[in-house]
Amino acid sequence: MSRVLISASPHLLGPATTRRIMLDVILALTPACVASVVIFGPLSAAVIALSVIAAVGAEYLTRRLLKRDNTIGDLSAVVTGLLLAMNLPANVHALWMGPLGSVIAIVVVKQLFGGIGMNFANPAIAGRIVLTLSFTAYMSQWPVPLAWLGNAGADAATFATPLAKGAVQPDLLSLLLGVRGGCLGETCAVALLAGGIYLMIRRVITPLIPAVYIGTTVLLTWAFGDDPLRQLLSGGLLLGALFMATDYTTSPSTNRGRVIFALGCGLFTAVIRHFGSLPEGVSFSILLMNIATPMIDRYIIRKPFGTRRKGAAK
């Protein structure tokens, strides 16, 4: 009996895999994870670990309950858990908020909508927003950076993010290195940039969305009379623009669509930050544009190669 296989062309496939892409994102987030442990202490590591374990566990159990094939091998649940943890303050409450947010992200936002590729919003962002709205007090208790090393009081849980009105403004070097109040993964600009550049070198993301998003926010906040550099380095703009807005599933798949998406993210972020009652607007902006993504993809259609532009000479 012949064992010759018949299949449609192409008979040769490239090396890219979903798992490798997710692994690259995990590697790109590693510097920020390390930085968070240095800045906020071992509690950070615990929050990250618990969030990841909860995300992977939730993915495994939901897929089993729904009688679908096991997808934890694609590592996307690890990325969700990591990203959610990055968006939490490194306080004791995050030890249970992290796993809870992960479960919401994976079960409600991702699996109930069909799993990887089908979620309508970035699961980590949706998880963070649920936590922010449900546990606002716990979610805005920012520990003092480097306090775990013992040079501040044992309970230094009420340090404001520099974006909050009237907060103490750290110097530029502290902002770059992340020695400031904030979510555990968002503070160290250097680590986030290193991760972002790695993703661009690996061609997992292109600079388009981060550049347009950051550019729009910086320009608009400058126009509103804020300090654009501080707007860039304080809060979650870098984390959001490099790692969350570039999520494949919830951003448009054409470059023109991506520009519209990133412009929207930038506009909402600047508006929420300047006019809103919240100090930070990155998550809400990305969530809003996530929801607009199917619409953008519906209407931005590329014309096939060779299509003549209207009014072109030939």
Which residues contact another protein by CB under 8 A?
Answer: 2-14, 16-18, 20-21, 71, 74, 76, 114-118, 248-249, 252-255, 297, 301-308
Question: What is the smallest separation between the CB atom of 283 and another protein, expressed in angstroms?
Answer: 20
Least distance between another protein and beta carbon 248 (Å) = 4
In the complex, the smallest distance separating the C-beta of residue 215 from another protein, rounded to whole angstroms, is 21
Minimum CB–partner distance for residue 241 and another protein (Å) = 17
Choice between 275 and 305, CB closer to another protein: 305
CB of 6 or CB of 137, closer to another protein: 6
We find the least distance from the C-beta atom of residue 70 to another protein, in angstroms, to be: 11
Tell me the closest approach of the beta carbon of residue 24 to another protein, in angstroms: 11
- In angstroms, rounded to a whole number, what is the distance separating the alpha carbons of residues 309 and 205? 29
Based on CB atoms, which residue is closest to another protein, 31 or 207?
Answer: 207
Residue closer to another protein (CB basis): 165 or 308: 308
Measured from the CB atom, is 22 or 100 closer to another protein?
22
Burial 122-154 (b: 16+ CB within 10 A, else e): bbbbbbbbbbbeebeebbbbbbbbebbeeeeee
CB-wise, 20 or 64, nearer to another protein? 20
**Separation in Å, CA 295 to CA 6, 28, 302:** 39, 30, 15
Q: How far apart are CA 286 and CA 300, in angstroms?
A: 19
> Least CB distance from residue 223 to another protein, whole Å?
31
2 or 277: CB nearest another protein: 2
Whether the CA torsion 247, 251, 256, 260 is positive or negative: it is negative
